[in-house]
Amino acid sequence: DTGVSQNPRHKITKRGQNVTFRCDPISEHNRLYWYRQTLGQGPEFLTYFQNEAQLEKSRLLSDRFSAERPKGSFSTLEIQRTEQGDSAMYLCASSLDGLQLGGYTFGSGTRLTVV
């Protein structure tokens, strides 16, 4: 297992287009998290899955954002009608024990640039 994998690494899109990112967590991890990181800031929580169930969503996750985790394995994050303010690094993380015990394992992220 090579850890948490995110694809693509980079995405440049025109404003108004839809984009989709994929995250493959560590296989035995049942929890999966999406974060957004803008330049010079720490990651901000977007949403969280336990197996296939999406249990929590941040107010940052507007109705243009949707995340899925079919079958409790990989996850996708889709942004519809992208705006320049969506430009950021999108990070995926996974964990097994629950947050407080082990912390998260993060992927390398997908950097989105909206032009």
Contact residues: other proteins, CB under 8 A:
4, 6, 33, 40-45, 48, 55-56, 58, 91, 93, 99-109
Task: Map tokens 């996708």 to a residue.
Answer: 76
- By beta-carbon proximity to other proteins, the closer residue of 44 and 68 is 44
Closest separation between CB of residue 42 and other proteins, Å? 3
Question: String of b and e for 69-90 (b: at least 16 CB within 10 Å)?
Answer: beebebbebebeebeeebbbbb
Q: Which is nearer to other proteins, 65 or 104 (CB)?
A: 104
Tokens of 48: 């969280």
Task: With CA atoms as reference, report the closest residue to 47 among 37, 38, 60.
Answer: 60
Q: Closest approach of Cβ 101 to other proteins, in Å?
A: 7
Instruction: Tell me the closest approach of the beta carbon of residue 77 to other proteins, in angstroms.
Output: 15
